[in-house]
Structure 1
Amino acid sequence: MKTPINRLDTAIKKLYIAFNNNTLHPECCKQCAVGNILDHSDAWKHFSDEHGSTTLNYVGRVNEAFGKRFNGYTPSELLFIEKTFLQACGYQLPLDFKNKKPENPTDKDVLFNGLQAVIELLCKLDNSPDVMDYTKLFENLKTKTCQPKLTHL
């Protein structure tokens, strides 16, 4: 029996591919974090009246009430993912031409900040350890001390 692919793994893979293929763009509903998770669909944008808001509108509430999931995520989870991505990229929310935004929204550092925040959130949503947490790599170094070998002459 083939096991279903985990939504976390699928979402991370899609975001990783988008980041590396330069198809991750915070201001495009089909290329943002959620747009990429939903296979370049912009249907999710109809769940809220403002881009970057986590308040579900009528369409969002109906979909949520019926238990509808989009690639494994509820409408409220999708809005929270998008909010997290935009904030980590440096946007003032809700997204509006008057509000603060990054000078270059497709700068790799800006996108990496957004990507890192979204992956951390996705891991929390699935009660999984943060795959972007690099501190574990250095824990062994903290516990092991370098002791130089002294030789007597």
Structure 2
Amino acid sequence: MKTSKRLDLAIKKLYNAFHNNALHPECCKQCAVGNILDNKDSWKHLSDHHGATQLNYVGNVHQALGRKFNGYTPLELLQIEATFLKACGYQLPLHHKNKKPKNPTDKDILFTGLTEVITLLRKLDNIPNIMDYTALLKTQPKHVLI
């Protein structure tokens, strides 16, 4: 199956971060978007709060100019991060008073977050889910003879 270059690179970076213990939801350089953007935190200036899905003035300017960061628009980056944080068990936006997991670097929590992020990345690029088995289980109704 053919995928986009940005999807391939993002998945490789997230896979490496997961297996090298370099994935941390609360760190702008080590979260899902931080890893996709080569461990840079400049993306955090696109919104006013970590986990927010609304662009601020800077984010809107970059979006309006059609800028992309490693292939993703500012709005897509915010969607990716919000998806990751929600799937990891955070209440958004990220704030010390909001709900969060007891151990944010637990492998099971991170795996759940990455699964949701990959689902979103795939949808952003209109890539079907190759693991979807529901079509295989569908059966044609049998004609009943009475």
TM-score of the superposed pair, with normalisation by structure 1: 0.84
- Tell me which residue corresponds to 1:79: 78
Distance 1:126 1:14 in 2: 17
In the TM superposition, what are the counterparts of 1:86-101 in structure 2 within 5 Å? Answer: 86-101=85-100
- Tell me which residue corresponds to 1:128: 127
Pairwise CA RMSD: 1.6
Give ranges in structure 1 of 5+ residues lacking alignment: 144-153
Give 1:115's aligned amino acid: L
- The answer to whether residue 62 in structure 2 is matched with residue 63 in structure 1 is yes
Give aligned pairs, total: 135
Aligned with 1:13: secondary structure?
A: helix
Are 1:119 and 1:130, in contact at CA under 8 Å, matched by a contact in 2? no
Larger radius of gyration: 1
The one of the two structures with greater contact order (alpha-carbon pairs below 8 A, sep at least 6) is: 2
Aligned with 1:86: secondary structure?
A: helix
Give ranges in structure 2 of 5+ residues lacking alignment: 139-146
The alpha-carbon deviation at position 129 of structure 1 amounts to: 1.7
The alpha-carbon deviation at position 100 of structure 1 amounts to: 0.3
Q: Deviations over 1:114-147 (max 9, x none)?
A: 000000000000000235x3x43x976x58xxxx
Distance 1:139 1:61 in 2: 40
Give 1:81's aligned amino acid: I
**Percent same amino acid among aligned pairs?**
68
The alpha-carbon deviation at position 77 of structure 1 amounts to: 0.2
Tell me which stretches of 4 or more aligned residues in structure 1 moved more than 2 Å: none
Q: Deviations over 1:68-125 (max 9, x none)?
A: 0000000000000000000000000010000000000000000000000000000000
- Tell me which residue corresponds to 1:150: none
The alpha-carbon deviation at position 52 of structure 1 amounts to: 0.6
Aligned with 1:14: secondary structure?
A: helix
- The answer to whether residue 108 in structure 2 is matched with residue 114 in structure 1 is no
Distance 2:135 2:68 in 1: 38
Distance 2:19 2:46 in 1: 28
